[in-house]
């Protein structure tokens, strides 16, 4: 049959009759297609989420403690040792005052007394406390260690001293260092004077001692 002779067919796709009741001969397929078109959202590709960066774990600080040293005492042990020391020191003070009536209580230790104690030890090592008329006994190595001890004490307490303490530290360091130089130069001159003629240096001319 040619296209022009085909019968014209009208399909009633209404779902309900005139009175509003569902038609039994209605084609349900368009409704399913329409429902599927409404209820099924278009699928769009979701890009994969990138994993959140994990912060690096900091390395523990390297310990500078000497492994050969014994472990430090606990806080309780430190407190017990301090209490026992204070009690023993108080009993010693009481015994000393009982043996010496009228004696004042010894002054408490201070930073100035620590510095002055090391200073006096250095002066004695340089022969400064030698009685008049006696040959000075000089301990150069001991004096050098005492001077270095004061220098370390000054370095470790820098920024934590009062103006008076800082001035005391500077004066003490200057005096012991100058005293060390004077003693070493005096010993060098004494050794040079004892050298026989023709010793170090040019013959007939004194050697320069620095």
Per residue in 138-169, pLDDT tens?
999 999 999 999 999 999 999 999 999 999 99
Buried residues in 116-138 as b, exposed as e (16+ CB within 10 A):
eebbebbbbbbbeeeeeeeeeeb
Mean pLDDT on 85-106? 84
- Using DSSP, state whether 108 is helix, strand or coil: coil
Q: What digits encode the pLDDT tens for the residues 161-204?
A: 999 999 999 999 999 999 999 999 998 998 888 766 555 544 44
Nearest to 172 by CA among 142, 145, 151, 144: 151
pLDDT of 77 reads: 93
Look at 148 and 41; give whichever has higher pLDDT. Answer: 148
Task: State pTM to two decimals.
Answer: 0.56
Spatial separation of the C-alpha atoms in residues 19 and 94, rounded to whole Å: 122
- Burial grade of 176 (CB within 10 A; 0-12, 13-18, 19 or more): buried
Average pLDDT over residues 70-93: 91
What pLDDT sits at residue 116?
94
Length of the chain: 210
What string of DSSP letters covers 31-74? HHHHHHHHHSPPP-PPPPPPPPPPPPPPPPPPP-S-TTSPPPPP
Q: Which residue has the higher pLDDT, 106 or 174?
A: 174
pLDDT over 90 percentage in the chain: 39
Q: Residue holding tokens 């690096």?
A: 56
Q: Quick check: 26 and 14 in contact, CB under 8 A? A: yes
Given a cut of 80, is residue 124 above it in pLDDT?
Answer: yes
Q: What integer is the mean pLDDT of 64-84?
A: 88
Q: Is the pLDDT of residue 2 over 70?
A: no
């Amino acid at each position: 049959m040619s296209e022009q002779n085909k019968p014209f067919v009208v399909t009633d796709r209404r779902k309900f009759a005139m009175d509003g009741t569902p038609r039994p001969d209605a084609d349900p397929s368009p409704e399913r297609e329409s429902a599927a078109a409404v209820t099924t959202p278009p699928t769009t590709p979701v890009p994969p989420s990138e994993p959140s960066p994990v912060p690096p774990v900091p390395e523990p600080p390297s310990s500078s403690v000497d492994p050969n040293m014994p472990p430090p005492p606990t806080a309780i042990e430190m407190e017990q040792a301090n209490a026992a020391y204070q009690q023993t020191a108080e009993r010693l003070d009481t015994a000393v005052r009982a043996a010496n009536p009228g004696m004042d209580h010894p002054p408490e230790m201070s930073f100035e007394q620590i510095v002055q104690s090391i200073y006096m030890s250095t002066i004695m090592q340089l022969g400064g406390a030698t009685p008049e008329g006696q040959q000075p006994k000089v301990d150069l190595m001991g004096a050098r260690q005492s001077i270095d001890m004061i220098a370390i004490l000054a370095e470790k307490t820098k920024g934590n001293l009062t103006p008076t303490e800082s001035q005391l530290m500077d004066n003490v360091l200057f005096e012991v260092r100058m005293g060390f130089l004077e003693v070493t130069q005096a010993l060098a001159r004494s050794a040079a004077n004892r050298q026989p003629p023709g010793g170090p240096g040019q013959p007939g001319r004194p050697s320069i001692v620095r």
